[in-house]
Amino acid sequence: MIVGLTGGIATGKSTFSCVLLELGVYVLDADVIARAVVEPGTEGLRRIVEAFGEGVLQAEGTLDRGKLGSVIFADAQKREILNGIVHPLVRTAMWSQAREYVKGDARRIAVLDIPLLFEGNTQGGADLTVLIYAPLDLQLARLQKRNGFAEEEARRRIAAQLPMEEKLRLADVIVHNTGAEVEVPGLATKLLIHLREVAQVGAESDGTFDKRVVKRTEIR
């Protein structure tokens, strides 16, 4: 079973991803793959420089993510250009690795950690989608504390993603991550138990997964 794991900025998705990895789950991180596809010498980096100029590079020729982030978060059109370059490259690599891992046994679970799962309209390749959720006021508080952003900048970063209300509508499983970080392992364990149950029920005799067994679920 291929699971698309997503969230909003500062909802705790990355923490959940790390805990699931510690629990022995096969996790593919879109951010890690996204870095690989824009390393020096790659087609991805060449196209980014072509689109945004050499000002987004560091002195040694690697991508300066801070400078690029400042550019795209301030301009929706430029953000779309970047997504159009990077997303297809990341998608191809991630789905290929996930399908290879679960091939022949639907009870195997591959979790794809994709921050912009719904923004990139990539959820169609997943058998089940999981949203790590936190309300806006908590997102703001976490983002200001974690990154040192002023409230205006924090709101701007959050607004650059799909509204949480839309993600709530699209997700199959919603994990309410509204407590302290020490509560995450317990929630992640509940999530993993649920995923294993769904994978078991949905496993077909030919090794494929029957998506019809997926039901909307909330975990608290």
What does the DSSP assignment read for 157-196? HHHTS--HHHHHHH-SEEEE--S-GGGHHHHHHHHHHHHH
The pair of three-digit structure tokens given for residue 190, joined into one six-digit string: 């509940």
30 vs 3: CA distance, rounded Å: 13
How many other CB atoms are found less than 10 A from the CB of residue 107? 14
Domain of residue 173 covers: 2-219
Cβ atoms of 162 and 205 within 8 Å: the answer is: no
Indicate the DSSP class of residue 29: E
> Is the pTM value of this prediction over 0.85?
no
Q: Binning pLDDT at 50, 70 and 90, where does residue 30 land?
A: confident
What CA–CA distance (Å, rounded) separates 151 from 105? 47
Rounded Cα distance, 170 and 117, in Å: 10
Q: At 9, which CATH number?
A: 3.40.50.300
| pLDDT the model gives residue 91 | 84
218 with 174: CB under 8 angstroms?
yes
Bridge partner list, 128? 3
Distance of alpha carbon 140 from alpha carbon 151, whole angstroms:
7
How confident is residue 125, by pLDDT bands cut at 50, 70 and 90? confident
Q: What is the mean pLDDT of residues 162-183?
A: 96
Confidence tier at 22 by pLDDT (50, 70, 90): very high
Q: What proportion of the chain, given as a percentage, has pLDDT over 70? A: 100
Contact in structure between 161 and 183 (CB atoms under 8 Å)? no
Count of structural domains within the chain: 1
Q: What is the pLDDT of residues 48-99, one digit of tens each?
A: 999 999 999 999 999 999 899 888 887 889 999 998 999 889 888 898 999 9
State the Cα–Cα distance between residues 190 and 192, nearest whole angstrom: 6
In 68-212, DSSP assigns E strands to 110-113, 128-133, 173-176
pLDDT of residue 124: 86
CB atoms within 10 A of CB 159: 11
Structure tokens at 217: 């679920």
